[in-house]
């Protein structure tokens, strides 16, 4: 006797089929472009980044992030649409990424840690990466220190780092490859028709661990600093470490930001909430690997938010 699937099984199959036919859009997340050690997979070489852009131009539909969000929010996603974003605002975004983005006519959104502009001090994770490349540092300790620094208060981090530097017998390096942009670079970059400027707080904290006043200041001040330097008010926000909660969303929304990105690795088809937009972080893949990953992401069932 022929057996018919139960209703719930049928419903699941129909839902899966619907998802499969819904166009999935993808938002990519880059950090630093350049060379050097990088245990946290934040850095993509110039050559690999150029090949990623070439692949996007050939096989996808590159769009500005705001366009992708608008299309998905109105439930009219464009198949194979891909938007490029950068977090942190490294000088390498200006030096290496911007010329390539302009060459390939690729729009990108750059979320900048406003309090690090013009600083020669490196982000704590880049200092940590450097320290653990030195002799006498056991890789097994790296994750412990990463978690400790990530959750430390802004005022506690210099002490933790300075103890590690003392142990290493070296001084923190001043690497131009790891610096955040200066005001001049930011101003010039913001003028590019391919660039949208976004905010990424003042000091890159885990926002959910801050008290309400400090959290609001991180979110509001970043916007004001970037606006004062460039004359452009950032409309987008990116959560440091991808961490957020409902009350953080409320602050971001009430500050006037129109959308916010996290780093949940998912494709997107329709957007109910534009304050938790998922992105795929891209490590230093060669063109072939990037191409096959992108194909998978574009074909994977998208989430509806
Ligand atoms: Zn970041």
- 54 vs 299, which has greater pLDDT? 54
Share of the chain above pLDDT 90, in %: 80
pLDDT at 34: 93
Q: What is the mean pLDDT of residues 160-178?
A: 93
The residues that bridge with 87 in the sheet, in sequence order, are: 111
Strands 43-44 and 195-199, how do they pair? unpaired
Q: What is the mean pLDDT of residues 131-141?
A: 90
Per DSSP, the residues of 257-297 read -SEEE------EEE-S-TTSB--EE--S--HHHHHHHHHHH
pLDDT at 35: 80
The 10 Å Cβ neighbour count of residue 293 is 15
Strands 32-33 and 268-270, how do they pair? unpaired
Cβ atoms of 207 and 219 closer than 8 Å: yes
State the residue for tokens 């290493």: 168
Confidence of residue 76 (pLDDT cuts 50, 70, 90): confident
| pLDDT at 21 exceeding the cut of 70 | no
First to last CA, the chain: 42
* Distance (Å) from CA 240 to ligand 1 centroid: 5
| 52 closest CA partner among 284, 305, 301, 298 | 284
Q: State how far the Cα of 98 lies from the Cα of 100, in Å rounded to an integer.
A: 5
| pLDDT at 11 exceeding the cut of 80 | no
* Distance (Å) from CA 17 to ligand 1 centroid: 36
User: Which H or E element spans position 81?
Assistant: strand 81-88
pLDDT at 9: 59
pTM for this prediction: 0.91
State the residue for tokens 């707080």: 201
DSSP state letter for 10? H
Q: What is the pLDDT of residues 200-218, one digit of tens each?
A: 999 999 999 999 999 999 9
pLDDT at 4: 46
Question: C-alpha angle 113/114/120, rounded to 5°?
Answer: 80
Q: State how far the Cα of 126 lies from the Cα of 110, in Å rounded to an integer.
A: 19
pLDDT at 299: 86
Q: What is the mean pLDDT of residues 151-164?
A: 93
Q: State how far the Cα of 78 lies from the Cα of 129, in Å rounded to an integer.
A: 39
Confidence of residue 188 (pLDDT cuts 50, 70, 90): very high
Q: State how far the Cα of 194 lies from the Cα of 189, in Å rounded to an integer.
A: 9
Look at the chain and count its residues: 305
* Distance (Å) from CA 9 to ligand 1 centroid: 42
- Domains of the chain are 22-120+177-304 (3.20.20.370), 121-173 (no CATH)
* Distance (Å) from CA 44 to ligand 1 centroid: 15
From residue 233, how far is each of 69, 70, 134, 228, 230 by CA, in Å? Answer: 18, 19, 42, 8, 8
Work out the mean pLDDT of the chain and round it to a whole number.
91
Q: What is the mean pLDDT of residues 77-101?
A: 96
* Distance (Å) from CA 69 to ligand 1 centroid: 21
Give the CB-side neighbour count of residue 88, counting CA atoms within 13 A. 21
Which of 9-23, 127-141, 227-241 has the weakest average pLDDT?
Answer: 9-23
* Distance (Å) from CA 273 to ligand 1 centroid: 21
Q: Give the list of residues 6+ apart from residue 240 with CB closer than 8 angstroms, or none.
A: 113, 200, 201, 204, 205, 206, 207
* Distance (Å) from CA 208 to ligand 1 centroid: 15
* Distance (Å) from CA 37 to ligand 1 centroid: 18
Q: State how far the Cα of 196 lies from the Cα of 66, in Å rounded to an integer.
A: 9
From residue 99, how far is each of 63, 95, 175, 188 by CA, in Å? Answer: 17, 7, 21, 12
* Distance (Å) from CA 239 to ligand 1 centroid: 7
Q: Which of helix, strand or coil describes residue 148?
A: helix
Q: State how far the Cα of 152 lies from the Cα of 150, in Å rounded to an integer.
A: 6
């Amino acid at each position: 006797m022929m057996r018919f699937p139960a209703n719930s099984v049928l419903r699941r199959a129909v839902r899966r089929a619907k998802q499969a036919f819904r166009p999935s859009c993808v938002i990519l997340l880059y950090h630093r472009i350049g060379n050097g050690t990088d245990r946290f997979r934040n850095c993509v070489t110039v050559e690999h980044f150029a090949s990623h852009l070439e692949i996007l131009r050939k096989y996808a539909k590159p769009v500005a992030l705001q366009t992708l969000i608008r299309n998905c929010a109105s439930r009219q996603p464009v198949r194979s649409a891909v938007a490029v974003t950068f977090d942190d605002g490294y000088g390498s975004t200006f030096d290496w990424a911007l010329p390539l983005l302009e060459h390939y006519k690729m729009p990108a959104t750059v979320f900048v840690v406003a309090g690090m502009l013009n600083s020669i001090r490196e982000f704590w994770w880049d200092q940590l990466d450097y320290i653990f490349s030195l002799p006498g540092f056991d890789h097994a300790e790296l994750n412990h220190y990463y978690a400790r620094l990530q959750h430390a208060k802004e005022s506690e981090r210099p002490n933790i780092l300075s103890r590690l530097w003392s142990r290493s017998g070296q001084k923190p390096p001043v690497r131009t490859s790891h610096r955040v942009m200066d005001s001049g670079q930011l101003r010039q970059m913001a003028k590019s028709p391919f660039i949208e400027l976004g905010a990424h707080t003042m000091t890159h904290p885990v926002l959910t661990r801050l008290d309400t006043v400090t959290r609001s200041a991180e979110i509001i001040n970043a916007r004001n600093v970037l606006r004062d330097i460039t004359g452009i008010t950032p409309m987008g926000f990116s959560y440091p470490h991808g961490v957020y909660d409902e009350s953080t969303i409320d602050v971001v929304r009430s500050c006037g930001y129109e959308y916010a990105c996290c780093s949940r690795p998912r494709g997107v088809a329709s957007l109910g909430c534009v304050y938790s937009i998922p992105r795929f972080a891209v490590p230093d893949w060669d063109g072939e690997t990037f191409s096959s990953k992108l194909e998978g992401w574009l074909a994977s069932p998208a989430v509806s938010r």
